[in-house]
Amino acid sequence: MINTKYDVVILGGGPAGLAAAIAIRTKTDASVLLVDRQHQGEVRVGENCPPETVLLLKQLGVAKEFYRGGHQTCPGYASVWGRDTPGYNDFIVNPQGPAWRLNRQAFDKMLADRAESCGAQISWSTRFIDAQKHSNEAEGFTLRLVRKSEDRECEVQARFVIDATGSTACFAGKLDINKSVDDELFATVRFSTLAQGRGSKQIQLEAVEHGWCYHSLLPAEKVVSMIVTEKKHLVSLRENEFQGFDDALQNTNLIGSSIAKLDLKESSYHTYCIRPGMLAAAEGSNWMAIGDAVASFDPIAAQGIYKGLSHGLQAGKKVMTWFENREQNNSNFSQQVKNQYGDYLRNRNHVYSLERRWSNAHFWLNRSSNNIDYSQLIKNES
Ligand SMILES: Cc1cc2nc3c(=O)[nH]c(=O)nc-3n(C[C@H](O)[C@H](O)[C@H](O)COP(=O)(O)OP(=O)(O)OC[C@H]3O[C@@H](n4cnc5c(N)ncnc54)[C@H](O)[C@@H]3O)c2cc1C
């Protein structure tokens, strides 16, 4: 049952929104409602996260559950990138240990359980559709929501709103805050179950003429494989019910030979449009956008889950300050987002510039000549 008034409403129950719910409830007594249009347990993409993720999970109070959650370590990356032979990038000397290959459903459930046990209310299958800002700031916003089970609208008043709706940034859009988008990519993802065979625990990356491929074994005998490319190449991947995708992966060197050793069943295919970019404004006095809503990255960065959790923790700090003393709301979150996005762009451009084998192919040509004006992004960097 959704009440009519909350101190904080969080729109979106991905890693960012769930982390925000935990952080806010741990630091304050604010009443918190989190809504997500998906049902709980829906398949989500993104299962590889860096070693430092564990530090954030400790701050969220879920490290023990995480270690017991059946997630698997990843000793490093094997990549065919910029040359024909594999290179290796291991986590041996990382003080936080190895990276992780997540059981995403268990991971999401762990965060949702923690948020609820901290006192946040979660309403799944509930879509945010509109927002109205009140002129009196103390009244915050009136949000229009639709619950799938009831198929009718309800209105909720929120003193503070957190937009964690992912790259669509639905709430910011209603405030007419736009995202500057600097690329468009399409990821075709195949999730399968491993019937037989053994493979490396390393995550594998491989550049190809029209994009790049990713392959990883996951907990619970699952396997994920992905091809990231431009829109015009989707047609060939979808040919004969994704036989085109299977063939394209089979024709790669490193990943193709790994997949050939596996017997896969129950494959399902999903396509995602990825539009990396950053919102023109990350926050106002009584709202903020976090995770992919404020800044979404190319998946080559593999930082989306980490970024979401870390922004969720920062939302906890901002809301606490806001409730304690509204006059002193000197958050530096906006500047952090800009700095983070500048770092991401530099790294992403460096990674793409390493691949020169297909310098005439549109995918690589388009990305190596991507002259981004960093000065705009980082001009206030101290
Ligand atoms: C193909 C692909 C592969 C990726 N692989 C990785 C990876 O291996 N590692 C990694 O770290 N990152 C990866 N990412 C990125 C990662 O998935 C995201 O960065 C991360 O999920 C962002 O978390 P978030 O909570 O900000 O947003 P999301 O996880 O996108 O969550 C947003 C939530 O908001 C909800 N929502 C949206 N609109 C509404 C609405 N109107 N009303 C209510 N709810 C709404 C959605 O249902 C969703 O649950 C990948 C991304 C893609 C596309």
Q: What is the CATH number of the domain that holds 260?
A: 3.30.9.100
Nearest to 3 by CA among 38, 32, 39: 32
Q: What is the 3-state secondary structure (H, E, C) of the chain?
A: CCCCEEEEEEECCCHHHHHHHHHHHHHCCCCEEEECCCCCCCCCCCCEECCCHHHHHHHCCCHHHHHCCCCEEECEEEEECCCCCCEEEECCCCCCCCEEECCHHHHHHHHHHHHHHCCCEEECCEEEEEEEECCCHHHCEEEEEEECCCCEEEEEEEEEEEECCHHHCHHHHHCCCCEEECCCEEEEEEEEEEEECCCCCCEEEEEECCEEEEEEEECCCEEEEEEEECHHHHHHHHHHHHHHHHHHHHCCCHHHHHHHCCEEEEEEEEEEEECCEEECCCEECCEEECHHHCEECCHHHCCHHHHHHHHHHHHHHHHHHHHHCHHHCCCCHHHHHHHHHHHHHHHHHHHHHCCCCCCCCHHHHHHHCCCCCHHHHHCCCC
> Ligand 1: distance of its center to the CA of 359 in Å?
32
Q: Are residues 216 and 189 in the same domain?
A: yes
Q: In the beta sheet, which residues pair with residue 187?
A: 228, 272
146 lines ligand 1 (CB under 6 A): no
Q: Are residues 166 and 297 in the same domain?
A: yes
275 lines ligand 1 (CB under 6 A): no
Res 27 pLDDT > 90: yes
> Ligand 1: distance of its center to the CA of 292 in Å?
7
Q: Are residues 223 and 269 in the same domain?
A: yes
Residue having the nearest C-alpha atom to atom 27 of ligand 1: 166
Q: Are residues 175 and 320 in the same domain?
A: yes
User: Tell me, what's the pLDDT at 329?
Assistant: 56
Give how far the C-alpha of residue 245 lies from the chain's centroid of Cα atoms, to the nearest Å. Answer: 24
> Ligand 1: distance of its center to the CA of 44 in Å?
7
152-193 pLDDT, tens digit each = 899 999 999 999 999 999 999 999 999 999 999 999 999 999
Substitution candidate for ligand 1 out of 111, 163, 165 with most atoms within 8 A of CB: 165
Q: What burial class does residue 220 get, using C-beta atoms within 10 Å of its C-beta: 0-12 exposed, 13-18 middle, 19+ buried?
A: exposed
User: Tell me, what's the pLDDT at 152?
Assistant: 83
Domain span including residue 135: 5-47+102-181+276-336
- Within a domain: 368: no
User: Tell me, what's the pLDDT at 378?
Assistant: 40
Q: Are residues 134 and 192 in the same domain?
A: no
Residue 176: how many other CB atoms lie within 10 Å: 7
180 and 282 Cβ atoms separated by less than 8 Å: no
- Within a domain: 158: yes
Res 8 pLDDT > 70: yes
276 lines ligand 1 (CB under 6 A): no
Q: What burial class does residue 43 get, using C-beta atoms within 10 Å of its C-beta: 0-12 exposed, 13-18 middle, 19+ buried?
A: exposed
Q: Are residues 245 and 298 in the same domain?
A: no
Euclidean distance between CA atoms 56 and 248, whole angstroms? 37
Counting the structural domains of the chain, the total is 2
Q: Which atom of ligand 1 is nearest to the CA of 228?
A: 1
Euclidean distance between CA atoms 93 and 364, whole angstroms? 32
Q: Which atom of ligand 1 is nearest to the CA of 12?
A: 34
| Segment among 82-96, 240-254, 273-287, 327-341 with least mean pLDDT | 327-341
- Within a domain: 89: no
Over range 30-35, report the average pLDDT. 98
Q: What is the CATH number of the domain that holds 155?
A: 3.50.50.60
Res 381 pLDDT > 60: no
Mean pLDDT in the chain? 92
> Ligand 1: distance of its center to the CA of 196 in Å?
31
349-363 pLDDT, tens digit each = 999 999 999 989 999
39-89 pLDDT, tens digit each = 998 889 999 999 999 999 999 999 999 999 999 999 899 999 999 999 998
198-245 pLDDT, tens digit each = 888 899 999 999 999 999 999 999 999 999 999 999 999 999 999 999
123 lines ligand 1 (CB under 6 A): no
Q: What are phi and psi of 130, to 5 degrees?
A: -160, 160
Q: Are residues 191 and 300 in the same domain?
A: no
Euclidean distance between CA atoms 194 and 202, whole angstroms? 16
Q: Are residues 199 and 128 in the same domain?
A: no
> Ligand 1: distance of its center to the CA of 166 in Å?
5
Res 107 pLDDT > 70: yes
User: Tell me, what's the pLDDT at 304?
Assistant: 96
User: Tell me, what's the pLDDT at 186?
Assistant: 98
Substitution candidate for ligand 1 out of 2, 10, 22, 36 with most atoms within 8 A of CB: 36
Dig out the tokens for 43 from the structure: 């398949």
User: Tell me, what's the pLDDT at 327?
Assistant: 53
275 and 181 Cβ atoms separated by less than 8 Å: yes
| Segment among 109-113, 237-241, 326-330 with least mean pLDDT | 326-330
User: Tell me, what's the pLDDT at 350?
Assistant: 93
Euclidean distance between CA atoms 321 and 336, whole angstroms? 17
Residue having the nearest C-alpha atom to atom 7 of ligand 1: 46
286 lines ligand 1 (CB under 6 A): no
Q: Which atom of ligand 1 is nearest to the CA of 128?
A: 42
Q: Are residues 249 and 284 in the same domain?
A: no
Residue having the nearest C-alpha atom to atom 26 of ligand 1: 291
> Ligand 1: distance of its center to the CA of 14 in Å?
6
Question: pLDDT band at residue 379, thresholds of 50, 70 and 90?
Answer: very low
Residue at 288: amino acid letter: M
Euclidean distance between CA atoms 348 and 82, whole angstroms? 14
289 lines ligand 1 (CB under 6 A): no
| Segment among 22-36, 166-180, 315-329, 368-382 with least mean pLDDT | 368-382
Q: Are residues 195 and 287 in the same domain?
A: no
- Within a domain: 38: yes
Over range 333-345, report the average pLDDT. 96
> Ligand 1: distance of its center to the CA of 160 in Å?
22
218 and 103 Cβ atoms separated by less than 8 Å: yes
> Ligand 1: distance of its center to the CA of 167 in Å?
7
Q: Are residues 285 and 173 in the same domain?
A: yes
Q: Which atom of ligand 1 is nearest to the CA of 167?
A: 30
37 lines ligand 1 (CB under 6 A): yes
Residue 253: how many other CB atoms lie within 10 Å: 13
Q: Are residues 122 and 246 in the same domain?
A: no
